[in-house]
Chain A
Amino acid sequence: MSDSSEDIIVCENVSKWFGDFRALHDVSIRVKKGEVVVVCGPSGSGKSTFIRTINRLEEHQQGRIIVDGIEMSNDIRNIDAIRREVGMVFQQFNLFPHLTVLQNVTLAPVWVRKKTRKESEQRALELLERVGIVEQALKFPGQLSGGQQQRVAIARVLAMDPRIILFDEPTSALDPEMVKEVLDVMKTLASEGITMICVTHEMGFAREVADRVVFMDRGQIVEEGTPEHFFTNPRHERTKLFLSQIL
């Protein structure tokens, strides 16, 4: 598994500034195909910013990002290609409120992948079935609960057949009783071999599903390792402090 050709995401010394504030400080990481990486850290540590650079929602100013062999640069062709391969699930769901659930899921396949409407609808219904809300297909997002909305958002991402999915605190905006239904869907995905990077505070999920846990603080990767190692034997003081606060 140490073969570098299996690395689907390669970040080398990625740095990002917001004005004078350095949000990312030489972040380097390699993610293998099928790997599930959980990123955690205190708020403001740059973990969201980091995963947002992977699909260019934030522009990095230094270092290299290579996704699935494509270099992230100012080349719009590369940016578009990477965005087609990388799906993203947001904290606030960001479903399109003026479209039905079904339209939300078929939008990108029709307009970006140029699939026929019929084909995409069929696939969308399959995916909605898979996340367990096929009966809501014709409703508008506003009529669904938070947990249901987040599952629609996952189906919407899956409809593009991404090789990588980024999760940006997918359960933070949910009421406690809805967290499980979303985590369950994520666990299924993880077991199916999709590469996932999740920013989350759900340490139970990390322990159970993650191949690797990355701890970030002040824009840097402080520590990374297997969940077992990370939770039982953290090396850095900052990691210990964080774990003591969160567990």
Chain B
Amino acid sequence: MATAAPPVQKTTIPFWRDTRILAILFQVLFVVLVVGVLWFFYTTMMAGLRQANLLPSFAFLSQPASFSIGESVIAYDPSNTYGYALLIGVLNTIRVAIAGVILATIIGIILGISRLSENWLLRNVATVYVEIVRNVPLLLQLFMWLALTQTFPRQQDSISIFGLIYLHNRGVTMAWPETGSDFGAWVPWLWLGLLAGIAFYVVRRIQFARRDRPGVAMPQAFLLAGAIVTIGYLFVGLTNGEWPLSLSIPELQRFNFVGGIGLTPGFAALLAGLVIYTSVFIGEIVRSGIQAVNKGQREAARALGLTPGQTLRLVIFPQALRIMIPPMTSQYLNLTKNSSLAVAVGYPDLFSIAGTTLNQTGQTVPVIMMVMAAYLTVSLVTSLFMNWYNKRIQLVER
């Protein structure tokens, strides 16, 4: 552009009164102060560490960890390196976080809707539950869950819940889907279903756009995909005589359970604590999200003759979702960060393995830096995503 601002006019002002110079001076002073303090900390620390012969280095990462880890997603052996052990920690954190987020969301939505129910008893039971759970520290709840798992009987006398879940002093064993030997034959069907669903959705959307008419394509797309996958499942199962995916139900043998999936007491306690604590907050978000949707919207939908269920599903929930997603994300982040309390219940998450590493190697600074960087990455990536999402939503609203 030819009309760009010209350079600032020159005037003779003593520098201590010039706003621009003052701004720069103040910032320089600020930087000097901050860097000075940090430099002081740094030099003191390095001097101390040098004396203790513990200069920070990342060399320990490739040394054998030589401690065992109670449970891991991928194979681990004490002869593996510290770096590998920390990776196990990351995977374990991700494992509990994913399970926690899914379960907390489901329970949270149920709680949120219950709090708004027309049923007096349901509404009040949900309220009492929420008020109890959210006013007691998470760590105390985790300790309670852990102590509870320790009161479970021996495996032989397991407490059975409908024969699908067994509680015992080694943790929890429960039924879990298991892939059969013919799972490979079913995989093409899964792909087919997925592609068909997407194709259907895209085609319908284009049709709607062309005819300039509103329409819903998502449920039908899911239905189509589901149908294809089911047909494939039946086809593979009936032709081969073995189902590609089946529910493996735990059975008590002489000494232990066979089949199903086993959760350690630590994992079970951590998951229960995180899910119950977080779901209460998610429930409150769901409740206020639904309440925030304009009352007029509700009345308009009812006036159109939609049933209460349809109103909730088609009109209120889609709008409430938009309000709910930012606070929901921060709850998911909270859950992930809170999963570091695993150290108190003996579940080997990132933080707890880092603690062991730190004790054994004495490399305080590198280990703490690495752990913080790991959590920070998750948080920053999530908030970048959220910024992107919010911008997108704002564009749609315009």
Using CB atoms and an 8 Å cutoff, list the residues of chain A in contact with chain B. 17, 20, 22, 61-62, 71, 73-77, 79
**Chain B contacts for A75, CB-based, 8 A:** 11, 13-14, 17-19
Q: Are A74 and B19 in contact (CB under 8 A)?
A: yes
- Provide the bound-state CA to CA distance between A151 and B139, in Å: 58
Chain A binder among B1-9, B30-38, B103-111, B349-357: B1-9
**Which of B5, B13, B20 contacts A61 (CB under 8 A)?**
B5
Whether B5 and A17, one on each chain, are in contact in the complex, defined by CB atoms closer than 8 angstroms, is yes
Q: How far is the CA of A75 from the CA of B4 in the complex (A)?
A: 24
Cross-chain contact B18 with A74 (CB below 8 angstroms): yes
CB distance from A140 to the nearest CB of B (A): 29
The B interface is mostly helix, strand or loop, or mixed, namely: loop
Mostly helix, strand, loop or mixed at chain A's interface?
mixed
With A74-B11, A75-B17, A79-B19 as contacts: A22 and B3 at CB distance below 8 Å: yes
Residue in A20, A73, A74 whose CB lies within 8 Å of B3: A20
Q: Which residues of A contact B11 (CB under 8 A)?
A: 71, 73-75
CA distance A61 to B13 in the complex (A): 17
What is the chain A residue whose CB lies nearest that of B6?
Answer: A62
Cβ of B231 < 8 Å from any Cβ of A?
A: no
Interface size class of B (residues with CB under 8 A): 10 to 19
A114–B95 alpha-carbon span in the complex (Å):
65
B-chain residues with CB within 8 Å of residue A77 when the two chains form the complex: 17
Q: How far is the CA of A20 from the CA of B3 in the complex (A)?
A: 7
**Contact: A17 with B17, CB < 8 Å?**
no
Say whether, besides A61-B8, A62-B9, A76 and B3 are in contact (CB < 8 Å). no
Contacts of B13 in A (CB 8 A): 73-75
Q: What residue in chain B is nearest A80 (Cβ atoms)?
A: B17
For A76, give its contact among B1, B5, B6, B19 (CB under 8 Å): B19
Q: Please, could you name 7 A-B residue pairs with CB atoms under 8 Å apart, sorted by A?
A: A17-B4, A61-B8, A71-B11, A73-B13, A74-B18, A74-B19, A75-B11
Instruction: Say whether B4 contacts A61, CB under 8 Å.
Output: no
- Asked if B17 contacts A61 (CB within 8 A), the reply is no
Does B28 sit within 8 A of A, measured CB to CB? no
A-B pairs, top 3 by smallest CB distance, nearest first, are: A17-B5, A75-B13, A74-B19
With A17-B3, A74-B19 given, can you name 4 additional A-B contacts, CB distance below 8 Å? Answer: A17-B4, A20-B4, A61-B5, A71-B11
| Bound: A20/B14 CA distance, A | 31
The closest CB in chain B to the CB of A60 belongs to B9
Q: Is B292 an interface residue (CB 8 A)?
A: no
B17 to chain A, nearest CB (A): 5
- Among residues 11 to 57 in chain B, which have CB atoms less than 8 Å away from a CB atom of chain A? 11, 13-14, 17-20, 22
A61 touches B18 (CB 8 A): no
Complex contact A20–B1 (CB within 8 A): yes
Residues from chain A with a CB closer than 8 A to the CB of B6 are 61-62
A74-B1 contact in complex given A61-B8, A62-B6, A62-B9, C-beta closer than 8 Å:
no
Residues on B with C-beta less than 8 A from A17 are: 3-5
- The docked-state distance in angstroms from the alpha carbon of A74 to that of B1 is 27
| Minimum distance in angstroms from B96 CB to a CB of chain A | 47
The CA-CA distance from A76 to B18 in the complex, in Å, is 6
Bound-state CA distance A75–B16 (Å) is: 9
Cα A93 to Cα B11 with chains together (Å): 35
In the complex, the answer to whether A76 meets B17 with C-beta atoms within 8 Å is: yes
Residue among B3, B5, B11, B22 with the highest chain A CB neighbour number at 10 A? B5
Q: Which residues of B contact A61 (CB under 8 A)?
A: 5-6, 8
Cα–Cα distance between A61 and B4 once the two chains are bound (Å): 11
Alpha-carbon distance A17/B2, docked complex (angstroms): 12
Bound complex: CA of A111 vs CA of B1, how far in Å? 45
Q: Which chain A residue shows the least CB distance to B20?
A: A74
Contact residues in B for A73 (Cβ distance below 8 Å): 11, 13
A75–B19 alpha-carbon span in the complex (Å): 6
Question: Which residues from chain B contact A22 at a C-beta distance below 8 Å?
Answer: 3
A60 to B4 Cα, complex, angstroms = 13
State in angstroms the CA–CA spacing of A75 and B3 once bound together.
27
| Min CB gap A10→B, angstroms | 15
A61's nearest neighbour on chain B, judged by CB, is B5
B16 to nearest A CB, angstroms?
9
B residues near A20, Cβ cutoff 8 Å: 1, 3-4
Residue of A nearest to B13 (CB): A75
A73 vs B20: C-alpha distance when bound (angstroms): 10
- In the bound complex, CA of A20 to CA of B17 (Å): 29
Give Cα A17–Cα B208 distance, bound, in whole angstroms. 46
Contact flags (1/0) for B289-311 with A, using CB distance below 8 Å?
00000000000000000000000
Closest B residue to A77 using CB positions:
B17
Q: How far is the CA of A74 from the CA of B8 in the complex (A)?
A: 10
| A73, closest chain B residue (CB) | B11
A12 to B20 alpha-carbon distance, docked (Å) = 22
Q: Which residue on chain A has the smallest CB distance to residue B14?
A: A75
A73 to B11, CA, bound (A): 8
A residues near B4, Cβ cutoff 8 Å: 17, 20
A76 to B5, CA, bound (A): 22
B26 to chain A, nearest CB (A): 12
Interchain nearest-CB distance for B18 vs A (Å): 5
Complex CA gap A199/B13 in Å reads: 32
CB neighbours (8 Å) of A71 from chain B are 11
A5 to B17, CA, bound (A): 27
Bound-state CA distance A61–B8 (Å) is: 6
